Amino acid sequence: MATDTHGQSLDQLLEFREPLPAEAFVMDVMQRVRREQRRRNIILFAFGLVGAAFGLAGAFLLAGPVAGIFSKLPVMATMQAVLLAVAALAFYVWSMNEDLGLPN
């Protein structure tokens, strides 16, 4: 008998008393969420373009000095250093069995 009254009081406490929101309210909230997502995408795109423009400007400004540095290095030694770096990276990826894809 005590468990029966306990179960009834628990049911009363867990009972849902608020009416469900109207469908118009839900649609309005979803529309505002979509609008904010669109605004976020526009802001990210604009700042990405500005960052890309600054990156290109920096690359153009540094192209001359970097070319000067590489023109003074011996060609064969530079090619061998690049080949060694790529081989080391390939060996690391192979030996560690790293997955370069993004996780889901």
54-100 tens-digit pLDDT: 999 999 999 888 888 878 888 888 889 999 999 999 998 888 876 66
Q: Which residues of 43-65 are buried (b: 16+ CB within 10 A; e: fewer)?
A: eeeeeeeeeeeeeeeeeeeeeee
The answer to whether residue 14 is domain-embedded is no
Is 64 within a domain? yes
Residue 87 lies in a domain: yes
Please enumerate in sequence order all residues whose Cβ is within 8 A of that of 78, keeping only pairs 6 or more positions apart, or say none: 70
Number of separate domains in the chain = 1
Task: Confirm whether 63 is domain-assigned.
Answer: yes
Q: Is residue 10 part of a domain?
A: no
Quick one: tokens of 51? 């960052």
Q: Domain range spanning residue 53?
A: 28-96
Query: What are the pLDDT digits (tens) for 31-58?
Result: 999 999 999 999 999 999 999 999 999 9
Q: Does a structural domain hold residue 35?
A: yes
Would you say the pTM of this structure is higher than 0.75? no
Is 23 part of a structural domain of the chain? no
Quick check: is 101 in a domain? no
Q: Are 68 and 61 in contact (CB under 8 A)?
A: no
